[in-house]
Structure 1
Amino acid sequence: MSDAVPTPPDASPTTPSEEAAASPTASSAPSPEAYDDVPVEAWSGVHRGPLRAGEWVRLTDQKGRRHNICLEPGKTFHTNRGGMAHDDLIGREEGFTITSSSGGEYLVFRPLLAEFVVSMPRGAAVVYPKDAAQIVAMCDIFPGAHVVEAGVGSGALTCSLLRAVGPFGRVTSYERREEFADVARKNVGQFFGGPEGSDHPAWNLSLGDLAEELPRSGVRADRIILDMLAPWECVEAAADALLPGGIICAYVATTTQLSRFVETVRLHGGFTEPQAWESLVRDWHVEGLAVRPGHKMIGHTAFLVTARRMAPGERAPRKTRRPAPGAYGADYTGPRPADVPAE
């Protein structure tokens, strides 16, 4: 039996040189398009190619100290290890080392989103990348989604949400404090690189309380993220605005907030059983045989709670597991499930 592979009926014979050119392992120069910048219409906040004037870059020294600077022709950035001319960075591909006038070495890259949000100016505390990643993944934020966010803070989570929904989705943010909204607007504009005075086309930032403003707007949403002191005050408004199958998510710092929110969602009855968790991130030291946990750890930052919206008039099956003794005892003062009598 022959091992030859039959030629398809419509295929014409190819020469060895043509076969080599068609082979995925063939050595050939990439097309110029492979190095094109990311399309502006993508609103990714990312650039490819040589560093340009007006871009932000991240300088990291040998001790891990970081500096974010905006490149401007003719300017010099000064550190305790001497200065570096911006013109020496502009026009180079990122991922290089530059030496300052006093001999300090600095690694130069464009900042990643996770790096940008922990070093940007703050009005309120930021949602750390580990929690933003959990929100995007566990709330299933998808391109084209409409996400409502209450408590914009400094804009850290907003950047992740906008990246996830893309230019064809929508993020509607509500913020009570004007000074926080101003900081968030500047940070989001800086990261995505929009023209001065213009916002991301998928973003709408409003001053006001979600519990009051969302019902007035008539908006229907796929996901609602509550990053605020009293998210339980917004459960009714969120339930009315969420589409069936949509997700409500709360980001809270304390166990008392966690308990109050979970019990309020349970008592509402229009959601699935709330799921609560936190994430901890620990780095590792790796040098030859010296492999051990690092001395730095991002421990507790916040608790996350999610639940899915039931269809109108539908209720999720009741939990069959009985509460622990004393869970709703005399010392408990929060919302109480309808089938749990007061003690």
Structure 2
Amino acid sequence: MSSSPQPTTPEGPTGAEFRRGPFRVGERVQLTDERGRMNTITLAEGGAFHTHKGFLNHSEIIGKPDGSVVTNTAGHQYQTLRPLLADFVLSMPRGAAVVYPKDAGQIITMADIFPGARVVEAGVGSGALSISLLRAVGDGGYLHSFERRQEFADIAQGNVETIFGGPHPAWHISIGDFQDEVLKAEEPGSVDRVVLDMLAPWECLDAVATVLAPGGVWINYVATATQLSRTAEAIRADGRFTEPDAWESMVRGWHLEGLAVRPEHRMVGHTGFLLVARRLAEGVEPLVRKKRNKAEFSEEDLNAWTPESVGERTVSDRRLRRVARDARAGIGEA
């Protein structure tokens, strides 16, 4: 399955026209009340937002500029804003865990995803990372996403088309195993960046090394320390990449009220590890780090990589079909 390229709109890059100007019918709007509670609604002709404290007619919002304050029938005020990308990602229909905004931002920066880049990704999930990658490569770039399950691809396509207001000209999505399909779709040495969010990225070593251009970046998103270790050791043993680097990021908000300035009690802690390596030129030997012990894995270790063994929840086909319908319904609302 692939989305057909579409020309850049006269209003600017794809989706830009939905990010500025007055509120219009079909747009999502984030309402925040005096207590800081947020609700997201989709504007409709004749629509209304009801609570136990009165209701707010959508007509009070339609035509007003972003950042307006409106009052409902009971005199309660709401701040109206267009949801940011982070807001959309955390509330969009999903069939799999999404890549959190903090990790997507790290991937875009640390993998140097630039406008016009040729990028391939695998493990599309619900499309959260795909949206960030498309924003980074722009209409003149290229993103080819590979997903093993049709249901996840449907959910991702619905979410991508919702936020961009239709198909994105740089995006193509294919169904199948990355290590097989990418070799059919991409010429050797033609890809600038490879982004993998999957259970066993080390199984894709040959495919990545084949399609990635010399100097190109390969970044992996993995959930557990054992996955991180196995991937790093496989990259080292392969000999076609630079020494891998790994890190994680954690985000802690702060409470700001008068002199009561302190860290919030909750934070976004561990979500995943990022591991990055770069493709060496053909025939070049990698520099070998001194005093590095060679890791060994037993046959039992190698056969233990199943979604259940690393704590992934199994999602039923019935639930995926329902989420896919919700994601596709969002296209008509955008």
- Indicate how the Cα distance of structure 1 residues 53 and 299 shifts in structure 2: closer, same or farther if over 3 A, else same: same
The Cα of 1:81 is off from its aligned counterpart by: 3.0
Secondary structure of residue in 2 paired with 1:42? coil
Q: Are 1:169 and 2:169 matched, yes or no?
A: no
Q: How does 1:193-212 map to 2 (within 5 A)?
A: 193-194=165-166, 199-212=167-180
Aligned match for 1:188, one of 141, 149, 160: 160
- Indicate how the Cα distance of structure 1 residues 264 and 173 shifts in structure 2: closer, same or farther if over 3 A, else same: same
The Cα of 1:209 is off from its aligned counterpart by: 1.0
Aligned match for 1:251, one of 204, 216, 221: 221
Q: How does 1:228-239 map to 2 (within 5 A)?
A: 228-239=198-209
TM-score normalised over the length of structure 1: 0.80
Q: In the aligned structure 2, how far is the partner of 1:89 from the partner of 1:299? A: 36
Could you list the per-position Cα deviations for residues 114-161 of structure 1 after superposition, in whole angstroms to 9, with x for gaps in the alignment? 111111111111111100000000000000001101011111111110
Aligned match for 1:99, one of 71, 78, 94: 71
Q: Are 1:60 and 2:26 matched, yes or no?
A: no
Does the CA-based 8 Å contact 1:60-1:106 persist in structure 2?
A: yes
Corresponding residue for residue 320 of structure 2: none
Q: Match for 1:212: what amino acid? A: D
Q: Are 1:126 and 2:126 matched, yes or no?
A: no
Q: Are 1:263 and 2:233 matched, yes or no?
A: yes
- Indicate how the Cα distance of structure 1 residues 331 and 175 shifts in structure 2: closer, same or farther if over 3 A, else same: closer
Does the CA-based 8 Å contact 1:285-1:292 persist in structure 2?
A: yes
Q: In the aligned structure 2, how far is the partner of 1:179 from the partner of 1:125? A: 14
Does the CA-based 8 Å contact 2:119-2:195 persist in structure 1?
A: yes
The Cα of 1:77 is off from its aligned counterpart by: 2.1
Q: Match for 1:267: what amino acid? A: A
The Cα of 1:61 is off from its aligned counterpart by: 2.5
What is the RMSD computed on CA atoms of the aligned residues?
Answer: 2.0
Secondary structure of residue in 2 paired with 1:276? strand
Q: Are 1:304 and 2:274 matched, yes or no?
A: yes
Secondary structure of residue in 1 paired with 2:182? helix
The Cα of 1:230 is off from its aligned counterpart by: 1.3
Does the CA-based 8 Å contact 2:15-2:165 persist in structure 1?
A: no
Could you list the per-position Cα deviations for residues 39-72 of structure 1 after superposition, in whole angstroms to 9, with x for gaps in the alignment? 5341144422211112211112234332222211
Q: In the aligned structure 2, how far is the partner of 1:193 from the partner of 1:73? A: 19
Aligned match for 2:19, one of 37, 40, 47: 47
Q: In the aligned structure 2, how far is the partner of 1:65 from the partner of 1:202? A: 36
Q: Which protein has greater RCO, CA pairs closer than 8 Å, 6+ apart? A: 2
Does the CA-based 8 Å contact 1:151-1:176 persist in structure 2?
A: yes
The Cα of 1:284 is off from its aligned counterpart by: 1.1
Secondary structure of residue in 1 paired with 2:173? strand
Could you list the per-position Cα deviations for residues 160-188 of structure 1 after superposition, in whole angstroms to 9, with x for gaps in the alignment? 10000000001100011111111111111
Does the CA-based 8 Å contact 2:195-2:218 persist in structure 1?
A: yes
Does the CA-based 8 Å contact 1:260-1:334 persist in structure 2?
A: no
The Cα of 1:302 is off from its aligned counterpart by: 0.4
Based on CA coordinates, which of the two structures has the bigger radius of gyration? 1
Does the CA-based 8 Å contact 2:228-2:273 persist in structure 1?
A: yes
> What percent identity do the matched residue pairs reach?
55
Secondary structure of residue in 1 paired with 2:275? strand
Corresponding residue for residue 318 of structure 1: 288
Secondary structure of residue in 1 paired with 2:55? strand
Q: How does 1:265-280 map to 2 (within 5 A)?
A: 265-280=235-250
- Indicate how the Cα distance of structure 1 residues 180 and 80 shifts in structure 2: closer, same or farther if over 3 A, else same: farther
- Indicate how the Cα distance of structure 1 residues 142 and 282 shifts in structure 2: closer, same or farther if over 3 A, else same: same
Q: In the aligned structure 2, how far is the partner of 1:321 from the partner of 1:82? A: 69
Could you list the per-position Cα deviations for residues 291-314 of structure 1 after superposition, in whole angstroms to 9, with x for gaps in the alignment? 211112110000000000001111
Give the unaligned 5+ runs of structure 1.
1-37, 336-343
Does the CA-based 8 Å contact 1:41-1:167 persist in structure 2?
A: no
Could you list the per-position Cα deviations for residues 183-208 of structure 1 after superposition, in whole angstroms to 9, with x for gaps in the alignment? 111111111112xxxx2010001111
